[in-house]
Structure 1
Amino acid sequence: MLVAVLVGVALPAAFPSEQVDVSLVTADESFLAPGVHRGFNVTAYTPLGFSGPGATQALQALAATGSTHAAFVPTWYQPTIASNEMAPDADKTVSDASLVAGLQAARAAGLQVVVKPHVDVADGTFRGLIRPADYDVWFAAYREMLLRYARIAQTAGAELFVIGDELTGVQGDTVRWPPLIAAVREVFKGKLTYAANWDPGYKAVPFWKLLDYVGIDEYHPLVTGTDTPTAKQLQAAWAPLVDELRAAHEETGKPLLLTELGYPSRRGSTAAPAGEDFGRPVDARGQARAYTAAYRALRGLPYVAGIYWWEWPTDARDHEADGGAGNYTPRGKSAERVLRDFSG
């Protein structure tokens, strides 16, 4: 059982089904190249979710893993994929004040901060399917949201701002994105990226030349046909993905960020990393093996500027029926040990 005390604050005890495999990583495999982003997507789904003692404790715990960056994810919602406007949800969207408090707490813990706004569809449809009835109205509303968070990011001293996440249905617009990116640069003086969904990938985004990094949310299936792949199988599965990352760098001339990468701690998650199947058994060691395979595949690649794992909730056990034992967070699980080992 993994129990840690971080910055004078006790982490939650390891989940009951978990045992730590201390042989997963060797000491010479750290992910410590200078400037590499060792990050997490920091999530919350209540108005005060990024502020308060629990959130501060979560951010201190994140820093203690050896992570260097925290990407805060405020989320707005639109009713359907055809809707023309999005807005904060009074029950689920983190308030601006709570976001600012979270950014300040993260910096106080020694983390670099990133702001990564999301738009979700209230009926649960995947955001990549958003195709508004009126693109002009939708982009005007999106611009308002984006500039709001760009101002917060600038004031907070954020290193990076993410101008969109998995908006596959609208990202191909070559007319509206360039002026939007220019407007963000007027407000935010740090680096910019966009988080492209793994499918259809980076090639479907026409505006990489206007950004500083190519961002990819990497959820490719690794090994299908078995719920318990071996380390060797996982390593082999990464080989074509590394080739694709190299091609993205060579074609765009930009360094890459994996703006999302994650595996639920459930059996078979490497076959479908993009989904949480709550009917599958909890498998914390399988999640740890998936983390290890990713680190071993990506370490030393000069064109990969970093990883932002999905996810690190500011409440370690929030929004899960089983108390978080089978969700994406590694906190209090075997994969947290992998994080520490690869961070030196």
Structure 2
Amino acid sequence: MRFKIVVRFLFLFFLLQSCEGQNKKINGISFVASREEATQKNIDPVLNINANYAAVMPFGFIRDLETPEIIHNTDRQWFGETRAGAKQYIELLHKNNIEVMVKPQIWIRRGEFTGYLKMNTEEDWQALQKSYSSFILEYASLAAEADVAMFCIGTELEQFIVNRPTYWKNLITEIKKVYKGKLTYAANWDEYKRVPFWEQLDYIGVDAYFPISENKTPTLEESQQGWKKWKAELKGVSQKVDKPIVFTEYGYRSVDFSGKEPWVSDHTMRDVNLEAQKNLTQALFNELYKEDWFKGGFIWKWFIAHERVGGNDNPMFTPQNKPVEEVIKKQFLSSQ
């Protein structure tokens, strides 16, 4: 009889552990590349908000939307934008038990939207494919070497994917020869439904800048209501593809009307609104974190020099040193 009780106790214990594991979310931040090496002082604020993941983002650069050459891993870049810099960040994050997603990104001169990157000739398409493969496989190799948990194969490259779907499917095959961990792609919020290769990846990745409210300062209730249709859409895509969803980027600026067009990052919006940022972020947590198909995501964005960024007069995305930081800290603690 005592043996049966012990067996039953052990069964319930492991069942509980399994359920807790399923509920655990990716509580991530987007760790912005810097000119300098990262130190423990830079990691402590990440630990303070209970983050368990960080996106490390090396960069490649393109002259304009019709140029096929991606310049990357050069001594003209900031330290954190290079392979050596990304590796140093990863090693320090790992020492602090923070998992990493390597997320190589492209910057097009003057901040042109990468989703519009499109070549005019077959010759240029071939050149872009060759250059992109060199760029992405460089960092797939780093992801394998550093044993990171996740690798993102691209960010917001809709026209590249629409026009060259076979290339992308073949590229994923090549990446899998190098890197054996979890794979995703960071699709823009209005692109993710049309990505043709989700079946080859582990997560549907979404840069979640969905329009939520047209109000200057949306209330928590209004913000939650604004998520209803997007939540239903996300769930439908997840079920159709049979893959969980990760927000490869999400967050709101601390400005008026920040829920209207959350993707806007220019400096023309300057009227600081900390309440809007706080309400919109809390609404996202309230609506999505309870869904089993939603696995969490990466806050946009988190700068290394914590003590020198953000603050109550800052109108940009970072939550650092703003009231919303406490919202994030509480949510991350409750979903570890």
User: For this structure pair, what is the TM-score category when the shorter chain's length is used for normalisation?
Assistant: 0.7 to 0.9
Q: Which residue of 2 is the match for residue 159 of structure 1?
A: 149
Task: Provide closer, same or farther for how the CA distance between residues 168 and 269 of structure 1 changes in structure 2, counting only shifts above 3 A.
Answer: same
Q: Which residue of 1 is the match for residue 241 of structure 2?
A: 252
Deviates more, 1:239-248 or 1:126-135: 126-135
User: Per-residue deviation at 1:319?
Assistant: 8.8
Q: Which residue of 1 is the match for residue 198 of structure 2?
A: 208
User: Per-residue deviation at 1:216?
Assistant: 0.7
Q: Which residue of 2 is the match for residue 188 of structure 1?
A: 179
302, 308, 330: which one aligns with 2:319: 330
2:48, 2:66 → 1: CA distance? Answer: 43
1:300, 1:319 → 2: CA distance? Answer: 31
Contact kept in structure 2, 1:223 and 1:271, CA below 8 Å: yes
Task: Provide closer, same or farther for how the CA distance between residues 324 and 116 of structure 1 changes in structure 2, counting only shifts above 3 A.
Answer: farther
2:129, 2:82 → 1: CA distance? Answer: 22
1:292, 1:137 → 2: CA distance? Answer: 44
Task: Provide closer, same or farther for how the CA distance between residues 127 and 317 of structure 1 changes in structure 2, counting only shifts above 3 A.
Answer: farther
170, 179, 183: which one aligns with 2:170: 179
2:57, 2:237 → 1: CA distance? Answer: 25
Contact kept in structure 1, 2:45 and 2:306, CA below 8 Å: no
Task: Provide closer, same or farther for how the CA distance between residues 75 and 280 of structure 1 changes in structure 2, counting only shifts above 3 A.
Answer: same
AA aligned opposite 2:115: G
User: Per-residue deviation at 1:316?
Assistant: 3.1
Q: Which residue of 2 is the match for residue 14 of structure 1?
A: none
Q: Secondary structure at the match of 1:170?
A: helix
Contact kept in structure 1, 2:34 and 2:304, CA below 8 Å: no
User: Per-residue deviation at 1:130?
Assistant: 0.2
Percent of residue pairs bearing the same amino acid type: 27
1:79 is aligned to 2:63: yes
The alignment's TM-score, normalised by the length of structure 2, stands at 0.86
2:313, 2:95 → 1: CA distance? Answer: 27
User: Per-residue deviation at 1:265?
Assistant: 1.3
Task: Provide closer, same or farther for how the CA distance between residues 245 and 239 of structure 1 changes in structure 2, counting only shifts above 3 A.
Answer: same
User: Per-residue deviation at 1:333?
Assistant: 1.1
Structural mapping, 1:95-174, within 5 Å: 95-133=82-120, 134-172=124-162, 173-174=164-165
2:312, 2:291 → 1: CA distance? Answer: 36
2:309, 2:325 → 1: CA distance? Answer: 20
Task: Provide closer, same or farther for how the CA distance between residues 86 and 162 of structure 1 changes in structure 2, counting only shifts above 3 A.
Answer: same
Which one has a bigger Cα radius of gyration? 2
2:197, 2:69 → 1: CA distance? Answer: 23
Contact kept in structure 1, 2:101 and 2:148, CA below 8 Å: yes
Task: Provide closer, same or farther for how the CA distance between residues 232 and 220 of structure 1 changes in structure 2, counting only shifts above 3 A.
Answer: same
2:262, 2:237 → 1: CA distance? Answer: 21
Q: Which residue of 2 is the match for residue 283 of structure 1?
A: 273
Structural mapping, 1:215-230, within 5 Å: 215-224=205-214, 226-230=215-219
Q: Secondary structure at the match of 1:270?
A: coil
Structure number having the greater helix percentage = 2
| Number of aligned residues | 306
Contact kept in structure 2, 1:60 and 1:106, CA below 8 Å: no
Deviates more, 1:155-164 or 1:83-92: 83-92
Structural mapping, 1:261-276, within 5 Å: 261-276=250-265
**1:151-202 CA distance string (max 9 Å, x none):** 1111111000000000011112221011111111111110101111112x32
AA aligned opposite 1:262: G
The alignment's TM-score, normalised by the length of structure 1, stands at 0.84
Gaps of 5+ in 1: 1-30
Q: Which residue of 1 is the match for residue 291 of structure 2?
A: 301
User: Per-residue deviation at 1:277?
Assistant: 4.8
